[in-house]
Structure 1
Amino acid sequence: MVRLLKALIFLVIVGFIGLVGFAYLGDLTPEQSEMRESLTLDVD
């Protein structure tokens, strides 16, 4: 039971380190592009 608990704590710590590393090093910025669309306004 103690080995299982140690393994679980180890996995949580490694997962947290991986998450922090991905947050700092991962490139999650969206691609930006300019979009233009012409439209006709019908004004009476």
Structure 2
Amino acid sequence: MIRILKFLATLVVLGFVGIVGYAYLGDMSPDRVEVQEPVELNVDG
């Protein structure tokens, strides 16, 4: 039983390290696109 718990604990630690490594090293920056759209202002005095 202790072997299974050690194995599960090892998997959890490795999974956490993998997620943290991907967060720091993975390219998760958004693609930037410039958007230009005319805006009509309804300004009647």
Percent of counterpart pairs with the same letter? 52
Supply the RMSD in Å over aligned alpha carbons: 1.1
After TM superposition, list the pairs within 5 Å mapping 1:8-27 onto structure 2.
8-27=8-27
TM-score by length of 2: 0.77
Structure 2 match to 1:36: 36
2 CA distance for matches of 1:20 and 1:30?
19
Runs of 4+ in 1 over 6 A off after TM superposition: none
Q: How many residues align?
A: 44
Give the AA of the match of 2:32: Q
2 CA distance for matches of 1:6 and 1:30?
39
Please, which runs of 5 or more residues in structure 1 have no aligned partner? none
1 CA distance for matches of 2:42 and 2:20?
53
Please, which runs of 5 or more residues in structure 2 have no aligned partner? none
